[in-house]
A and B are shown apart, each in its own frame.
Chain A
Amino acid sequence: MDRRQFVKLIPAGALASGSLLALNANAQDGKVQDKATGTSGGDQGKVTGPSASVKPGDYKEYMKNIHNPPGSDPFGLDEQGKGIKGFRAVGTGSNVKDRPDADKPVKMKLTREEQDILDGKQGPELAKVMKTVVEHGQLFGATELVELGGAPHSAMFSAPDYMDSCLTIFERCADAGLKAYAPYTINPRPWDLYNEEISSKEATMALDGYKLQNRLDKLHMRLGSRNRKAWSCTSYLPEVGNHPPLGTNVAWAESSAVNYGNSVLGIRSNRNAVAMELMCALIGKAPKFGLLTDEGRKAKWLIELRTKGEPNWGVVGAAIGFKVVEDVPYIVGADKYMGGKVSPESIVKLKMMGSATASSGAVGLYHVEGVTPEAAKQGRDLLAEGYQTYVIDDAELARVRGGYKNLWDDKNGKPTRVHIGCPHATFEEIRQWGVRITKALKEAKQEKVAIPVNIGCSRFVEEHFLDEYPILYRDMKRAGVTFTNICILCFSGLAGFGKLERPVTNSSKARVYTNARLYDDGPLTQIIVTGEVPS
């Protein structure tokens, strides 16, 4: 890989009329009375930043730059890249190792129609899809298939060279006319050549890293995906619309979406491997085991939250993930911070906590007493016999947080970028950050954010926000905030980027997958204004 010059585009020109300092005061409170469309303004200039080189095939450089995560979801390694001692997650989101008859062969009972499909009466490709799903399910004790509802969500979203053979398999399905049982959503794309603040060299880097991306895009369209606006890891949000009703069986992939869907929507999905979710989508069925069963949704851990004030939900999630790995936790003491219900405000917290349980551990489902639907209905009856208890207080959170290392190459350097929206931001989350940022800039008598601020979100959510808060949206843009539907992890995970960038984030998940340092909302806002790490 050639030496690359990292060029950042940051706003440098004077603002047109209607600058931040002349904001409508109401916008500072996040409630805009005047919903007139905002006008664009501001010139942009180029600033040259640091550079780095990575040799072809140099896996050490590669690994250094993708920053070995400590959790089980991405690599199962600790922060030093060592295998986690005793790590034995089976990756389903529900621990099957305790299944008493796990060593005995299981024969799935199929319906006549399913057997006909398996026998090839609807073509050889669909027969292979059925065979794949059945054989996989039997390994985990499934004795039947269940009908899937709602719509699929796929995590097959990036395509480096090694995806070639996998793409070929699904292209055979598309050639045979197979389609998913419903128009489906997909994780965000690994690049955003339209909105992201990247140079042409960086764009080339992305195109080189994901050479088969266009082939993957085309494949998804042939298999019945929705259009690219629906490519988001938070496809379950109302704006994107993949939010099946309570109790619906689905076969999703993407750890955070499975985690949110099971927990907050109350749908039923195992943590599927990439490719297996598409197999299930093509057949419209999934093997019944793990989180698709009542037993598999019982909690083996009681988590008692006993902090003095409202905690950082991402750190709470990380603590839970480290402790329970892939078992189901039942969390008490969190409802008072969430208004006792699922709401636009509480889903921000649930998303941050849940995605952390799924990235620092492999949690596919959690229950929050008095908040999430199954806990609200069944209460502590959801606790499995012999459950264990884990108390999270301020000291425990400090201990967990104390283990977070500074992974920047230049540990004392200044931050280069702020990542918000991992998983993709909700409407309310964007509103809160819009208010925080514009208010802080106004108080500092400053027009622009000090370093690039990227808010990752679905285009549908961004459009909703623009519609409801056009002035706040305009002022965020004028201040230099970028809205992008990119996968922040893929962006930061590209070989070379980790050496070039010193990102900061509010996302516990992004901290796990990249070299980003985690900050609470207050200090992060300070960084956005000053470009400096708070002392």
Chain B
Amino acid sequence: MAKKTYKGRPVLPGELTGKALVSREPFNTTVSYIDNLFGGVTDKAPCTDSDNNELYGTDLSGMILCTPQTIGSTMGGIALIGVAELGVGPKAMLFSAHIDSLSAAGLVIEDVWNEKRIITIDQLGDEFMKSVNTGDPIAIHEDGTVEVG
């Protein structure tokens, strides 16, 4: 596939390569990690959002999430801290829209306090969301550039 490049805002910059995990619907953080947050599961992160047709049942451990935005509970930020501390949190979060304040709080706190960076880029644009597919090779760069393919 032809390589495409998108430029976003580096919220928590870093360099990373891996494969995309795509949720075209906004990713509901709390609902997706119910087994980790409330079910006692600590060795993997099965997506528990049964309405997320793309990710339901998929192990979210170490994912590079590509989604328009996260939604949901005001606990969403703390949820990200919780799964990161279990070792099953995302490696990177790539948003096509503006990051929401709840995720931003959790990601910044995890970065500052636990020194575990979940690389985060936002405002990558609708075109990014339209073209990226689960399994696509992803290369993230410090300046917020994301290469797909």
Contacts and interface: CB of A to CB of B under 8 A. Distances in A.
Interface string B47-80: 0101110000000000000001101111111110
Contact of A255 (B28, B38, B68, B74): B74
A82 B52 CA distance: 8
B72 A139 contact: no
A393 B30 CA distance: 36
B139 interface: no
Contact of B48 (A59, A89, A132, A253): A59
A341 interface: no
A276 B77 contact: yes
B105 A76 contact: no
Q: How large is the interface on B (under 10, 10 to 19, 20 to 34, 35 or more residues)?
A: 35 or more
B22 interface: no
A204 B135 CA distance: 45
Contacts of B112: 128, 131-132, 135
B87 to A, nearest CB: 11
A89 B37 CA distance: 24
Given A59-B39, A164-B85, A273 B31 contact: no
A91 B109 contact: no
Nearest to A139: B104
Given A160-B37, A162-B36, A274-B78, A74 B73 contact: yes
Contact of B51 (A62, A81, A104): A81
A75 B30 contact: yes
B134 interface: no
A163 interface: yes
A440 B98 CA distance: 53
Contact of B98 (A102, A135, A272): A102
A166 B80 CA distance: 10
A278 to B, nearest CB: 10
B38 A62 contact: yes
A87 B51 CA distance: 15
B97 A97 contact: yes
Interface in A54-71: 56-60, 62-63
Contact of A162 (B48, B52, B82): B82
A103 interface: yes
B81 interface: yes
Contacts of B98: 90, 96-97, 102
B147 interface: no
B91 interface: no
Contact of B101 (A88, A164, A169, A272): A272
A71 B138 CA distance: 33
Given A97-B97, A164-B85, A87 B9 contact: no
Contacts of A161: 37-38, 40
A73 B30 CA distance: 12
A330 interface: no
A275 interface: yes
A91 B26 CA distance: 13
A72 B71 contact: yes
A57 B28 contact: no
Contact of B28 (A83, A92, A270): A83
A155 interface: yes
Given A72-B71, A75-B31, A495-B38, A83 B25 contact: yes
Interface string A261-296: 000000000111111100100000000000000000
A77 interface: yes
Contacts of B8: 103
Contact of A136 (B85, B104, B114): B104
Contacts of A140: 101, 104
A165 interface: yes
Given A57-B35, A103-B123, A135-B112, A275 B77 contact: yes
B78 A163 contact: yes
Given A139-B11, A166-B82, A255-B74, A91 B100 contact: yes
Interface in A461-495: 495
A105 interface: yes
Interface in B102-149: 102, 104-106, 108-109, 111-114, 123
Contacts of A87: 26, 71
Given A57-B35, A279-B109, A88 B69 contact: yes
Nearest to A209: B38
Contacts of A165: 81-82, 84-85, 114
Nearest to B99: A139
Contacts of B68: 88
Which of A56, A75, A102, A169 has its CB near the most chain B CB atoms (within 10 A)?
A75
Contacts of A495: 38
B34 interface: yes
A80 B112 CA distance: 37
A77 B49 CA distance: 11
B26 A62 contact: no
B71 A57 contact: no
B100 A90 contact: yes
Contact of A77 (B51, B84, B101): B51
CB-CB nearest 4 A-B residue pairs: A57-B39, A76-B71, A273-B105, A162-B82
8 contacts: A62-B38, A87-B71, A102-B9, A132-B108, A132-B109, A135-B108, A162-B38, A275-B77
Given A57-B41, A88-B68, A104-B9, 12 more contacts: A58-B39, A59-B34, A59-B38, A72-B71, A75-B30, A96-B98, A103-B9, A160-B37, A160-B38, A166-B81, A271-B101, A273-B105
